[in-house]
Structure 1
């Protein structure tokens, strides 16, 4: 397992989340002079995007994120995106948040699968960062935050070997293993089968620095070529024309990681039968385990770095629906398998939680308005911790 996979996973999933939210906010946007109090305007859309990007690229948050560490469970990471999606005036109910996370994960899984070389996952990340910068062109301060993260990614990953990138890609694929959720865009474009598995192409450019398949060369013990044998590979491959830029600015060449929602069209997700069975077989245990404390401490450190500016005075939140109608949203919430839902995050801390100085320091910064009479568990509720930030 690579200890350098977490930042790439977070940034790419975050980029996909911003693509989806921007598309849905634009679809539900109406002119400000015609909007009611509970409806979106263009000003609201920009504010939501700016708030999420500001929080996502918070300096302290990213300092914790870039520390070498193994990936944590899907539920632990999902808690971060729940917190991130609700750091603005936007509100998503459980069904819409489930759908948002499904779209994010399946899109990035497809991109990792199709990377010509393991190192190209870095180009996918740069495509996401380039697109995020397009969202905040008129906000120089936020742009500087993204550029600083860009430079940090280049510094950390620019010197890694091909073998280290191979391990990163393998770690990411293990994280996405057994996730086979059907997405309407992928089904319509015939890049996903009805069982939720992706179709790998047998055409297009080969990885940079390699040759088109179809020729076997044989050499003698002196390194001299002595024979050539051609074979039919069954595909339509071409040689890659250029590698793609790994600099702050440049042509990435690779299109994986760009915004597939730039053209508005409905997006639906469906859990395939195979995925339901897989979820039953791989259901996470709610019993304490050896990684429970580490996951809690990890989340506490990350959440402790999420500094969100709260405006004074009450302000109503706008609800965003990722479904076409409220009825579809309610139906999705009722029909989603319990094993794939994230209504409850069970992360239990070990008995020595109170002795953890870092966690105690972070929790001490929270402002407690109502002190409970007696705590029934030494493992504090993570969702309550996030609400207090």
Structure 2
């Protein structure tokens, strides 16, 4: 297992979350200023300097439950609110999209190119937000420092670690079912043709060498194909051609393509059904510490979100479909229930003050851009 996989998993899932939220904000005709603020606040929180530095330290992956908790908090790090059913659907779409991308990697180093494609898109979302933009640029630096000179063997270990994380997660997604890249049981269909990994030759030739290393015979065989040579290696520079469409936004392209994971429009109702068995064990101590750090960072906004400025985002086509999905959602086990703490009322309730004091929620971070409406609703770790 690679101990450097966590940061890549987090960034790629975060990139997919941005794609989906951007698409749904547009679909629901949310005013542009509000939509931009949602994306800016979430990205500023997600790429907080202290949190990212902790995330890039070698460590084991979070459990699925802990990773879900992180993104549950991040998704609410703004004036946007999601109910449980919409949050379930958001996380299902995020995880299955990235699982498909990892499965399609032509070579292990493409994991880095996928990550940089997500970073490029995130950077585009915050072009007019200087604080968040500087945070994103810092993450580019961390990626280059940690993965720029990594060997192919290490990238292969990262890919295997990520696939282990997604193992047994077979969630049906309509956009994949429509493009026939996913079966009805939730398993992906991987093509045996298409682009070849950079540095490889067209299949169909057998070369025989003697004991001195000289080629003595050549024969050929039929290779199914069709195949296409990849002529350039993807660039890992901050601005460069990644030479792959994996990791780009599949929600705003018109042409459908298996290799590009392309598609358009929101998912159809009832298109996601989870058949994954979640990891029930809690996060390791490092993960718990980082979750606590994230809670403090998200709670560090100087101004409080007002109920008037909040709005609800629906990941389903209609409210009725969301309510139907919520009704089918399994009830939480007593041991896994989440306690919500409304920080806007902490001056009105002595018991709440005591709880907040024990959690040590303080405005101890100024690196997240000081957004006006960062999350005041924190879940217990």
How high is the TM-score relative to the length of structure 1? 0.81
Confirm whether residue 331 of structure 1 aligns to residue 324 of structure 2.
yes
Counterpart position of 2:350: 370
Q: Is the 8 A contact 1:50 1:136 kept in 2?
A: yes
Matches within 5 A, 1:280-359: 282=277, 284-285=279-280, 293-306=285-298, 308-312=300-304, 314-316=306-308, 317-337=310-330, 345=336
In the alignment, which residue of structure 2 is the partner of 1:14?
Answer: 14
Q: Which residue of 2 aligns with 1:32?
A: none
**Superposed, which structure 2 residues align to 1:119-158 within 5 Å?**
119-158=109-148
How big is the shift at 1:233? 2.3
User: In structure 2, do the counterparts of structure 1 residues 217 and 302 end up closer, same or farther at CA, with 3 Å as the change threshold?
Assistant: farther
Counterpart contact for 1:61–1:304, Cα < 8 Å: no
Mapped contact 2:45–2:297 kept (Cα < 8 A): no
How far apart, CA to CA, are the structure 1 residues paired with 2:333 and 2:93? Answer: 15
Once the 2 structures are TM-superposed, how far is the Cα of residue 57 of structure 1 from its aligned partner?
Answer: 0.9
Aligned to 1:103: 93
Match of 1:61 among 51, 55, 77: 51
CA-to-aligned-CA distance 1:320-364 (integer Å, 9 cap, x gap): 0010111100111222456xx7997479xxxxxxxxxxxxxxxxx
CA RMSD of aligned residues (A): 3.0
Which aligned pairs between 1:255-270 and structure 2 lie closer than 5 A?
255-263=245-253, 264-268=264-268, 270=271
User: 3-state DSSP class of the match of 1:7?
Assistant: helix
| Aligned partner of residue 217 in structure 1, secondary structure | strand
Q: Could you tell me how far 1:3 is from its partner in structure 2? A: 0.5
Q: Which residue does 2:364 correspond to in 1? A: none
- When structure 1 is superposed on structure 2, of 301-310 and 221-230 the one drifting more is 301-310
Tell me if the contact between 2:72 and 2:87 (Cα under 8 Å) persists in the aligned partners: yes
3-state SS of the aligned residue for 1:216? strand
Q: Following superposition of structure 1 onto structure 2, how do residues 249-260 of structure 1 map, counting pairs within 5 Å?
A: 249-260=239-250
TM-superposed deviation, 1:126: 0.6
- Give the superposition deviation at 1:307: 5.8
Partner in structure 2 of residue 4 of structure 1: 4
Q: How has the CA–CA distance of structure 1 residues 285 and 54 changed in structure 2, closer, same or farther, with 3 Å as cutoff?
A: closer
What residue ranges of structure 2 are gaps of 5+ in the alignment?
254-263, 339-345, 361-374
**Comparing 228-237 and 170-179, the one that deviates more:** 228-237
Aligned to 1:169: 159
Contact 2:114–2:247, Cα closer than 8 Å, also in 1: yes
- TM-score normalised per structure 2: 0.82
What is the aligned length? 345
Contact 1:182 1:270 in 2 (8 A): yes
Query: Does the 8 Å CA contact 1:4/1:168 hold for their aligned counterparts?
Result: yes
Matched residue, 2:370: none
Q: CA 1:96–1:124 in 2, change beyond 3 Å: closer, same or farther?
A: same
Gap change, CA 1:106 and 1:373, over 3 Å in 2? closer
How big is the shift at 1:306? 4.2
Tell me, what secondary structure is at the counterpart of 1:70? coil
- Is residue 94–residue 343 contact of structure 1 (8 Å, CA) maintained in 2? no
For 2:171, the equivalent position in structure 1 comes to 181
